[in-house]
Structure 1
Amino acid sequence: MTTLWDTTGSAVVKELAAQRRTGGAVLSGVALTLVVVADESRVAEAEEAATYAAEMHPCRVLIVVRRQIEAPVPRLDAEVQIGGRLGPGEAVVLRMYGRLALHSESVVLPLLAADAPVVAWWHGPPPERLATDALAVFADRRITDSSLADDPREALRIRAEDYVPGDTDLTWTRSTAWRAVLASTLDSVAGRRGDAVQIRGGRIEGDPHNATAQLLAGWIASRCGSSIEVTDGSRHAGPSGVESVVLQLDQGEEVRVTADHRSGAVITQPNRPDGTVALPARALGDLLSEELRRLDPDEPYSDALEAATGVSGLTERSPEREHVWFDPTEDGERTDAPAAGSTS
C-alpha cells in the first residue's frame, strides 16, 4: 500500500498505474467499479463489506470519504493498493477535505475501470435527492440503506419520491431470506393441494418502524393484491424487523412463518407438522455482494416500494439523472437548475 498525502487526482492515477506494472496485475477480470461513499466513522465497516464483495465480484474499489467540508484549503489524501487489505483487486481510499469534497467526481471519474459498469453505495444516510451527488449521476446502479436514517419509514418514502430505475436499498436486500422462505412455503402448500394458492390477506408481526418489514409487506401486497399490515410485535425481531408472517389463504387455510433466532424459522401450515428452515443473519458484505450480482433495474423492489409507500409509477420513470448542484454549507439551499457541465 502507498499513502499519498496532500496529493492530486492525477498523482493517484499514476500511482495506481505504477503499482499495476510492478505487481503485474491486469484489469481483464474486473467486472465493475464499486464506488463507496462513507463517513469517517463508518469507513472500517465499509472497507470490510467492500472487501468481502470484491472477493465475490472482481472489481475496482474506490472509497470516498468526505471530511471537513468547511476546511479553508482543499486537500486530498489517498491510499492506493493492489491485492492488499481491501481484497485481491485494485482499491483506492480517497479522503477529501474542503471544497474538493463537493466535487469528488473530479477525482473519481479518472479512476473508473474502463468499459465497466459503475455501482455507487452510500454507507450512511443518503442524500434526499441522489442527483445532488454527482457520483449518483454517472453510476449505473445506486445502493442506499434507509435503515441508517433517523426515521427509516420516512427514508423509504423519500427513496420512492426520488426513485429512478437502477436504485435499490439494503433494507430490501435484508428481506431476501424471508421472501425465499415464504415463496417455498407457498409452493409446498400448492404442491400438496395440487392447485395454485391465492393469498386473501395477512399481516407481519414485528417492528412497524423498520423499513425491511415495510418492504416485505409491500412485496407480499404487490404480489397478492391484498393489504398486508405490519403490526407491533416483540422487541426481538432482529435487523429485519420481522418476528412472524401470517398469511390467510383461500379455502380457509392459514400459514405462519415465525423467526426462531436459535434455529432459523418455524413454518406452521395446515395438515402438516411444524417445520424448521434456515433463516440466517447476514453480514453487511453479504448484502452488498448480493446487490452486485445484478446491474439491471430491480422491478420487484420498485413494486414493493410502491406498495409500501403509496408512491406510484416508479418503473415508468427515466433511468437517467441530471446533476443538481447542492452546497450543504449554504444553509441547505439548493437550486433545481442543472450544474454546469453536468451529465445525465
Structure 2
Amino acid sequence: MIGLWDTTGNEVVKALAAERRSAGGVASGLALTLIAVVEEKKVREAEAAATIAAAAHPCRLLIVVRSDLDGRSRLDAEIVVGGRLGPAEAVVMRMYGRLALHAESVVIPLLAPDVPVVTWWHQEPPDMIANDFLGVVAERRITDSAQAPDPVAALRQRAVDYAPGDTDLTWTRITLWRTLVAGAFDTTDAQVTGARIVAPERDPTAWLMLGWLKSRLGIEPVLEHTDKAPRMHSVELQCANGECVRVTREEGTALFSRTGQEDRYMPLPRRPVGDELAEELRRLDADQIYAEALAAMAGTTGLEHRPAARVHVWKDPALAARAASTSDALAG
C-alpha cells in the first residue's frame, strides 16, 4: 500500500501507474471502474464488499470519502493494487474542504480506459443523483435505500429521481424471494387473484416486493405490518383455483408451502453486501423489471421511458446553508 498525504490528483495518478507496473499481470484485464461514495466509518466495509465483487468482476475501485466541507481543501490517498483486494486495484481518496464538492476533478483522470463506470453509494443515498457528478458520469448507479433514516421514503425518492441505469440494493435483496415465488408457477397455469406480504412497516424490501407482484400480476397485494420479525417474513399468493402458495423466512431458509403438497425447506440466506454488489455488476444495461416494480410501488408510470443520460445539476451546500440562514434572519 502507498499512502499520500496532502497530495494532488496528479501525484495520485503517477503513484497508481507505478503500482500497476510493479503488480504486472495482477492489475490487467479490468472489467470496469467502480466508484464508491462512502462515509469514513464504512471504508473497510466497502473494500471488503468490493473484494468479493472483484472475484467475478475485476475492477478499479475508487473510494471517495468527503469530509469537513468547511475546512481547508486537502487530498489524502491510499493506493492498493492486488494484495488483500484480490484481482482489483483501489484508491481510497479522502477529500476535505471545497475539493470534496469537486471530487470529479480527481476521480476522472483515474477512470480505467475503455471500460464501463459504475457508481455505488455505500451510505445514505442522494435525493437527486444529478447533483453528484460521480453519478452523472456512470452508466450504472447503485444506491441502498436501507441506509436512509426512512428507507421507504428513500425508495419512493428513487422513483422520483429515476433514470434508466439506476438500481438499488433493496431490489437485489429480494432476488431469492422472487425466484422462489416465480418457481412456484413453473408447473401450473393457475391465475393469481391476491397476495399478502407480512413485514415490518419500514422494510423497503417488502414494498418493492409489493411493486413487483403488482407490476407482474396486475393485482393489489396487501402489506401486513408486523413487529415480530426484523425483515420481510412471508409472501402468500391466493389462486383462482383455490390453491394457496406461501413462502416464509425461517433462520436462513424458506418454508415453501402449497395447498395439497408437502412443505419443503429451501435456502434463503442473508447475503453479504459483496454478493449483492457482484449481482448488480453482472449487467450494465437498464433493468426494466426493476423500473416497473419501482413505478408500481411508488404509484407512477413510464420510468423505463425516461432519458438514460443525466445532466449534472450543480448544488453548493454552502450556498444552500447561507440562503437558509438569511431566510431565518428575515423571518425573525
TM-score by structure 2 length? Answer: 0.94
* 2:284 aligned to which of 291, 295, 311: 295
Amino acid at match of 1:164: A
Query: Which blocks of at least 5 consecutive residues in structure 1 are unaligned?
Result: 191-195, 335-344
Superposition deviation, residue 146 in structure 1: 0.3
Check conservation: 1:79, 1:92, Cα contact below 8 A: yes
Match of 1:47? 47
Measured in 1, the distance between the counterparts of 2:322 and 2:159 equals 22
CA distance in 2 between counterparts of 1:235 and 1:61 reads: 39
Conservation of the 8 A alpha-carbon contact between 2:200 and 2:229: no
Look up the match of 2:32. Answer: 32
Q: Distance in 2 between matches of 1:287 and 1:185?
A: 24
Select 1:242's aligned residue among 232, 238, 250: 232
Following superposition of structure 1 onto structure 2, how do residues 52-201 of structure 1 map, counting pairs within 5 Å? 52-71=52-71, 73-188=72-187, 190=188, 196-201=189-194
Residue in structure 2 matched with residue 257 of structure 1 by the alignment:
247
Q: Is the 8 A contact 2:69 2:100 kept in 1?
A: yes
| Structure 1 letter corresponding to 2:77 | A
Contact 2:31 2:115 in 1 (8 A): yes
SS of structure 2 residue aligned to 1:295: coil
3-state SS of the aligned residue for 1:271? coil
One-letter amino acid matched to 1:60: R
Post-superposition offset of 1:153: 1.1
Counterpart of 1:11?
11
Contact 2:31 2:57 in 1 (8 A): yes
User: What is the rounded CA distance, in whole Å, between the counterparts of 2:108 and 2:222 in structure 1?
Assistant: 44
1:207·1:230 contact (CA, 8 Å) conserved in 2? Answer: no
- Bigger drift between 274-283 and 161-170 goes to 274-283
Shift, 1:28, TM fit: 4.6
Shift of 1:230: 1.4
Is this contact kept in 2: 1:54–1:61, CA < 8 A?
A: no
CA distance in structure 2 between the partners assigned to 1:74 and 1:126 by the alignment = 24
Letter in 2 for 1:49: A
Partners of 1:52 and 1:286 within 8 A in 2: yes
The one-letter amino acid paired with 1:130 is I
Give, in whole Å, the separation in 1 of the partners of 2:259 and 2:227.
25
1:208 positional shift: 2.7
Q: Taking every aligned residue pair, what percent have the same amino acid on both sides?
A: 53
Number of aligned residues = 323
Amino acid in the other structure paired with 1:204: I
Does the 8 Å contact 2:249/2:255 carry over to 1? Answer: yes
Q: Report the residue type matching 2:96 in the other structure.
A: Y
Deviates more, 1:15-24 or 1:169-178: 15-24
Partner of 1:193: none
User: Aligned-pair distance for 1:54?
Assistant: 1.3
2:328 match: none
1:209 aligns with 2:202: yes
Deviations 1:258-308 (A, max 9, x none): 11115x111111211111111111111111111011101011111110111
Tell me the distance in 2 between the aligned counterparts of 1:78 and 1:87: 19
Indicate yes or no: 2:212 matched with 1:219. Answer: yes
> For 1:262-341, what aligned pairs fall within 5 Å after superposition?
264-331=253-320
What's the CA shift string for 1:113-134, capped at 9, x where partnerless? 1010000000111111000000
Is 1:69–1:97's contact at 8 Å kept on the other side of the alignment? yes
How far does residue 233 in structure 1 lie from its aligned partner after superposition? 2.5
Report the Cα offset of residue 187 of structure 1. 1.7
Structure 1 consecutive aligned stretches of length 4 or more whose deviation exceeds 2 Å: 25-28, 84-89, 329-334
Shift in Å at residue 206 of structure 1? 1.1
Distance 1:103 1:184 in 2: 47
